[in-house]
Amino acid sequence: MVLHPDEVHDGHAGTRAGFGYRQLYVEPALIFEAVRVLRGRACALPFVRTPVVTSAKLSGAVTAAFEGGREPLAVDSLVMRLAEGLLDADPSCPQIPSTRHLAVATLQRARAFLDAEKARVVRSAELEAVTGLTRYELARQFRAMYGTSPYRYLLMRRLTHAREQIARGRPLSAVAVEVGFADQAHLARMFKAAFGLTPARYRALSLRARYVA
């Protein structure tokens, strides 16, 4: 369901069975800026005329919002995905055909910065300072050049670093702190989502392989 700012709604269930839902409240200004970057020009906020929308992009963005963290780069990526989904549902702001260049050297600088900071959470303002691009313009260009978002790119660098430390026998709780996760459970969730097994299982397999060798 899509509810616009100031739209009146009752929130009551349609049947006695009731219902449950998870919801996102997003500042309209964030969507406006993301739309401007995606379309290459300023547009009115997307207006979805049907309150119930079937959209893989929107449902995927909402699901990701509750499965992932609230790190700054993750929020930037989420806003971009929401804006893309809303634009798909409202064709009133088509993109003007144009050649949109990529700031290759700038993007390479951003990637090098993320590689160097693979053991911590990076804030959006830091990347803006490094690149001179706004967070949403950077997200658009970074995805176009590298096929992923700055958040996802950094997350995989952090998880790879964690995997290396775990293979060396470091305590899982210490590794979680070292790579910027809230706690060991947070590391376990993200590690399993990325690699298909828990950090504890990976450590056991690594130790077994070392012993056999």
Q: Which two tokens stand for residue 168?
A: 């060396």
Q: Across the chain, what does the average pLDDT equal?
A: 88
* Per-residue pLDDT, 99: 65
- Tens digits of per-residue pLDDT, 63-82? 888 876 688 999 999 999 99
- Tens digits of per-residue pLDDT, 99-158? 678 999 999 999 999 999 988 899 999 999 999 999 999 999 999 999 999 999 999 999
SS3 assignment for 133-148: CCHHHHHHHHHHHHCC
- Tens digits of per-residue pLDDT, 6-28? 777 776 777 888 877 778 888 99
* Per-residue pLDDT, 80: 94
200 Cβ neighbours under 8 A, 6+ residues apart: 172, 188
Q: How many residues can be counted in the chain?
A: 213
Answer whether residue 202 shows pLDDT above 60: yes
Residue 131 CB coordination number (10 Å)? 21
- Tens digits of per-residue pLDDT, 147-187? 999 999 999 999 999 999 999 889 999 999 999 888 899 99
SS3 assignment for 8-42: CCCCCCCCCCCCCCCCCCCCHHHHHHHHHHHHCCC
Which domains are delineated in the chain?
1-7+18-96 (no CATH), 158-212 (1.10.10.60)
* Unique residue bearing structure tokens 């409202």: 90
* Per-residue pLDDT, 87: 92
